[in-house]
Amino acid sequence: MKALITGITGQDGYYLAKLLLEKDYEVHGLIRRSSNINTYRIDSLISEYSDSKKLNLYYSDLLDSSSLTNLINNILPDEVYNLAAQSHVAVSFKNPIYSTNTSTIGTLTILESLRNLEKDVKFYQASSSEMYGGQFNGMLDENSEFEPKSPYAAAKLFSYNITKIYRESYGIFAVNGILFNHESPLRGETFVTRKISRAVGRIYNKIQNNLTLGNLEASRDWGYAGDYVQGMYMMLQHHIADDWVLATGETYTVKDFAKAAFECVDLDWEEYVLTSEKYFRPNEVDYLLGDSSKARKELGWKNEVDFKSLVSKMVESDLLLAEREKVLIDKGLLEPTWEYSIK
């Protein structure tokens, strides 16, 4: 089996590539060309599979339709997982055109390429709980109404809809995974959960004083990324193409996450966390809670890592990272971070 993963250098890309490699897949991944080396998340996989042809990486871009089409035609994968996007919601307000283009053009290019292939290929589209908009204080499932409140969410909704259109119009095995927030020690540092765990590690090691956050009452259904990529894989192994929500069925506020993270090192979060309205989103998504009953029943999927275990995993990892930072600071090779804010 051959799989193509866009966004392989991201958090989900790492966990999915690892899963597929362990299942003896031949994995092909797209890397966006950058002036900086951006493969640090998958470096361990590159090292482990460097002597085989199991892991193959290519420079390409979701905005480069001809390059993307040529790669698909040359690789002829059995499965395509489209994970790539500018996935930070706040950043999508600052860079709406780029954020929208990466989440729409790439999806459409892949679907058009698959439509014109003689080979039947299964396609997974990474959709997002942000599409719901967060106005309903109840459980959200596959039949709930979408009301996007950011350029990121609006673009994701386009890709969700175009995936359904190509499935229904051309018979492509194309699925949408509507994933609620999923985190890990590999989460990008611009995301609130990782900002909190990084700050806890630094504050505990006395190389940071405090952490400024925005809306502490924003509530999210947070799960573990390693569990969610299992769901992605299960969707493409199902006998029919459909759309599924993946979520834990529990929701916690940003305040809850901060409190749990600081408790991991026996610190009182209120002594270190500041708030500022300038870090609020222009259009806030207040509440997200997912109902994954369909995925649990039809796919046999379930989340294994609960909220407290997830927070603990992230803090433990960032404590080690902060310890290494402290060594560099003590040697005068790195400046301490006295305040850390979400922008």
Q: What is the CATH number of domain 192-219+251-286+307-341?
A: 3.90.25.10
The single residue of 128, 159, 219, 292 carrying the catalytic annotation is: 128
Neighbours of 33 (CB within 10 A): 9
Q: Which stretches does DSSP call E strand in 95-172?
A: 122-128
- pLDDT, tens digit (0-9, with 9 covering 90-100), for 116-134: 999 999 999 999 999 999 8
- pLDDT, tens digit (0-9, with 9 covering 90-100), for 265-281: 999 999 999 998 877 87
The single residue of 130, 166, 204, 252 carrying the catalytic annotation is: 130
CATH 3.40.50.720 region(s) of the chain? 2-183+222-246
Is 152 an active-site residue?
Answer: yes
CA distance 257 to 216: 9
Percent of the chain that is helix, strand, coil (3-state, to 5): 45, 15, 40
Q: Which fold has domain 2-183+222-246?
A: Rossmann fold (3.40.50)
Exposure pattern of 77-102 as b/e (b: 16+ CB <10 Å)? Answer: bbbbbbbbbbbbbbbbeeebeebbeb
Could you tell me the pTM of the whole model?
0.94
The single residue of 15, 124, 152, 204 carrying the catalytic annotation is: 152
Helices (H) and strands (E) in the chain, counts: 11, 14
CATH 3.90.25.10 region(s) of the chain? 192-219+251-286+307-341
Q: Are 200 and 315 in contact (CB under 8 A)?
A: yes
- pLDDT, tens digit (0-9, with 9 covering 90-100), for 153-184: 999 999 999 999 999 999 999 999 999 999 99
